[in-house]
Amino acid sequence: MKLETQVNLASRTTLGVGGNAAHFARIETEAELREGLAWANARGLAVRVLGGGSNIVVADAGFAGLVLEIALRGTEVTRDGAQVRVRAAAGEPWDDFVAAMVAQGYQGLECLSGIPGRVGATPIQNVGAYGQDVSETITHVATFDTAHSAVRTFSNEECGFSYRDSFFKSRQPGRFIVTQVTFQLAATAAPAVRYAELERAFAAQRKTSPTLAEAREMVLALRGAKSMLLDAADPNSRSCGSFFVNPVLSPEQFSAFVVRAQDEGSIPQFPQAGGRVKLSAGWLIEHAGFPRGTRDGAVGLSTKHALALVAHAGARAADIAQLAQRIRQGVHERFGIQLEPEPVFWGF
């Protein structure tokens, strides 16, 4: 394991803000992972895991412990009739992996195209978009248990998946480091076109039976139109993507919300199991007085998507945190709803 000190983290995140990691190591094997954890444990240092850097906000003071960049690579495909089992190492770039699966005609991930980051992060967040979640196709998640210095593999059920959540994120955060994810895909199925925006886009083209490749390209086009792709030429793309989780309300909470929002016209709402209702965080933000393009010094909202906080030239992590708090407070005061950030905050 090659250990470095005072390594810049801003350049390793999509927001491009934050200070240095006091200690840093790029992990390419599970042996190096064990070595890095043992080194930090012997010195009483906290450990953070870095993937593609698309879902973290690093404090301006940086992080005083050890940052492990998970760079485990490799995929293994096993086909059994119409079913395809794919094992992917945690360090595989997510969109490259999705593109490869689509190119081979394997269905199950096509609507998750264009999402930055790496494979290992997807089960933690239960990454989803355009009507698809990784929980639909993940069968097993291999991890390293930092509490017991042992390997542990989780079944889909043991992962405790729910909307943008998992066992790893909310019940045992930081304890398990993902090393490999196994997916079960379909070799002969049609793409999952079941999201209203995606359906409308294909309807406008009069395309009733799109291919997997066409579904991927359409998702990329839709994400690009919202500046939700990594693009150095797009001033809106220096972000974490969606900064807040769409809130899911109980029937009682939704009734109270409707009363407070009765003057706002049509409200986007998405029925969930158990009578719960999912709302659009972007809609809440805009209707709480933060329109797209809102600026607060060197930070602001995307001009195309109110759910994305953008770091412009000269932005600091503190500026991002301050705007996020203003938005949360504004939405809570207007609608009585507490928005929860999607990215993880390091060093705050």
In a domain, 41, yes or no: yes
Same-domain check for residues 81 and 65:
no
Same-domain check for residues 130 and 181:
yes
Same-domain check for residues 56 and 86:
no
Q: Which two tokens stand for residue 248?
A: 């899911």
Closest CA to 218 of 126, 114, 108, 95: 114
Compute the average pLDDT of residues 149-161.
97
Q: What crossing angle do the helices spanning 251-260 and 317-335 adopt, rounded to 10°?
A: 90
Same-domain check for residues 121 and 33:
no
Exactly one of 164, 238, 316, 328 is catalytic; which is it? 164
In a domain, 221, yes or no: no
Same-domain check for residues 66 and 81:
no
110 in active site:
no
Same-domain check for residues 277 and 303:
yes
Position 222, amino acid: L
In a domain, 205, yes or no: no
Last residue within a domain, chosen from 49, 70, 91: 70
What pLDDT score was predicted for residue 208?
Answer: 92
Last residue within a domain, chosen from 70, 85, 110: 70
Cβ atoms within 10 A of the Cβ of 274, count?
Answer: 8
Same-domain check for residues 90 and 53:
no
342 in active site:
yes
Structural domain count, the chain: 3
What pLDDT score was predicted for residue 235?
Answer: 86
Exactly one of 30, 136, 214, 342 is catalytic; which is it? 342
Q: How far apart are CA 127 and CA 85, in angstroms?
A: 19
What pLDDT score was predicted for residue 28?
Answer: 97
Q: What is the CATH number of the domain that holds 132?
A: 3.30.465.10
pLDDT digits (tens, 9 = 90+) for 85-142: 999 999 999 999 999 999 999 999 999 999 999 999 999 999 999 999 999 999 999 9
Same-domain check for residues 97 and 38:
no
Same-domain check for residues 79 and 182:
yes
Residues facing 151 on adjacent strands: 144
Contacts with 263 (C-beta within 8 Å, 6 or more apart), sequence order:
none
pLDDT band with cut points at 50, 70 and 90 for residue 237: confident
In a domain, 228, yes or no: no
Same-domain check for residues 254 and 314:
yes
Exactly one of 227, 242, 302, 316 is catalytic; which is it? 242
What pLDDT score was predicted for residue 82?
Answer: 94
Which residue segment(s) compose the domain that 333 sits in? Answer: 248-337
166 in active site:
no
Kindly state the percentage of the chain with pLDDT values over 90.
Answer: 95
